[in-house]
Structure 1
Amino acid sequence: MVAQLATRLMLTDKLTRPLTELSGGEWQRVHLAAVFLQVWPSLNPYARLLVLDEHATGLDVAQRVALDAMLKVLCQAGLIVLASAHDLNHSLQQADDIWLISKCKLIDAGDAAGVMQPERLAPVFCIDFQRHRVGESDWLVPVSE
């Protein structure tokens, strides 16, 4: 399983390097691999919940796509993944449900498409947003004055 995770998280070529030579994104992927080993269904059939805080910090776009694929596998296996994130478009694209929280208060909750509306986000972030459809996806764009 370690080899599979290393491959999926693009860490295979880093396994022989000293830890002191890893970049921030590489360290982030090492930490994610350790977390996945604790909750992976074939290793821990009792795991039910994975809580992540800004889990994509330091990852490039290819690494983020690989991480999203792994999280989908975990969700399909029955785990609940609860993740905090500040990337609104990534959350809109990847989340099933959103809890919009501001100043430790729940502002809104529900399916991602419903919560991630410009009129709901504007008061939280104190800026206006536009929502645009590109192909099959919706995107949020902050409006500058």
Structure 2
Amino acid sequence: MVYLRVEDVVFHYRSTRVLNGVSVEIKPSSFTGIVGPNGSGKTTLLRVMLGILKPRSGVVYIDGKAIGEYDRRRLASIYGYVPQRLDSITPLTLYDFVSTGRRPYASLKGLSSRDHEAVARAIKAVGLEEKSSSLLTELSGGELQRALIARALAAEPRIMLLDEPTSNLDPYHQLMVMKLLRNLTRNGVTVVATLHDLNHAYRYPDTLILMNKGRIERVGPPGHVLTSELIYRVYGVKAIVDERVGAVVVDSD
């Protein structure tokens, strides 16, 4: 099993400090959600965990080894990453796009039968079998979002890092994705996702990290983190947390 640890990380965008001494340990085979207001440092923390951004100080460890000691190919076989959106859409079919997730394992001979099996499983997992031969330019925003998740799944990662994975999705597919992430942990995958929807954050992760102004406000089980008092202090809105149905009702007045 793999575990992820962030130790005293400080990160700046030019002169602006975005992460200020962040330390947290992610349990193996768990689902950890990162929540907080816009600008609190959620996405920056995720990208530092991934190694896309290099902190000014502090270290990220995978299984006790600093990520800087891993080569890129090895990291690509450990991590599956799902950004919020594609920066550009190329004229690939969905199948070919998802196949790019197998690059850490590909040989000069192309994809093996095992690679093709992994791609097919990933596409099925997000419910896009009927779109396999469709061009990315023909997909809806929600379908593109699921295609991004499928590409990450195709790599058979040990750690999945996702930035707002339910953005652009309708309610049915939001629930499908959240349940999929929950089920991945049962297969030994460590999942970390930034989340905007507090109801999803309350119901699905094992652990929540609540960010506020570049620091971690609280870490723990969702019921310990998403309290009415803490939501008001961090988000500035009133809320009722209904433990019976697992719901957070914001602006209850």
- TM category, shorter: 0.7 to 0.9
Tell me the residue number matched to 1:59: 169
Partner of 2:143: 26
Structure 1: tracts of 5 or more residues without a match: 41-46
Q: CA deviation at 1:95?
A: 0.9
Letter of the structure 2 residue corresponding to residue 141 of structure 1: V
Greater CA drift, 2-11 or 54-63:
2-11
Taking structure 2 as the reference length, what is the TM-score of the superposition? 0.50
Instruction: Output aligned runs, 1:23-102, within 5 Å.
Output: 23-38=140-155, 40=156, 47-102=157-212
The answer as to 2:224 corresponding to 1:114 is yes
Amino acid across the alignment from 2:217: I
Question: Number of matched residues?
Answer: 136
Q: Secondary structure at the match of 1:33?
A: helix
Larger helix proportion of the pair: 1
Larger-gyration structure (1/2) = 2
The 10-residue stretch of structure 1 (74-83 or 93-102) with the greater mean CA deviation from structure 2? 74-83
* Residues 9 and 33 in structure 1, CA contact (< 8 A), matched pair in contact too: yes
Q: Once the 2 structures are TM-superposed, how far is the Cα of residue 49 of structure 1 from its aligned partner?
A: 1.8
Matched residue, 2:9: none
Unpaired stretches in structure 2, ≥5 consecutive residues = 1-117
Write out per-residue CA displacement over residues 90-115 of structure 1, whole angstroms, 9 at most, x where no aligned residue.
10000111110012111111111111
Distance in 1, Cα, partners of 2:241 & 2:192: 25
Question: Which structure carries more relative contact order (alpha carbon 8 Å, separation 6+)?
Answer: 2
Partner Cα separation in structure 2 for residue 9 and residue 79 of structure 1:
16
SS of 2:248 mapped into structure 1: strand
Specify the SS of the correspondent of 1:74: helix
Q: State percent identity of aligned pairs.
A: 29
Question: Which residue does the alignment assign to 1:10?
Answer: 127
Instruction: Specify whether residues 104 and 15 from structure 1 end up closer, same or farther in structure 2 by C-alpha distance, changes over 3 A only.
Output: same
Q: CA RMSD in A?
A: 1.7
Counterpart CA distance in 1 for 2:199 and 2:239 is 12
Contact 1:8 1:66 in 2 (8 A): no
Q: CA deviation at 1:57?
A: 0.8
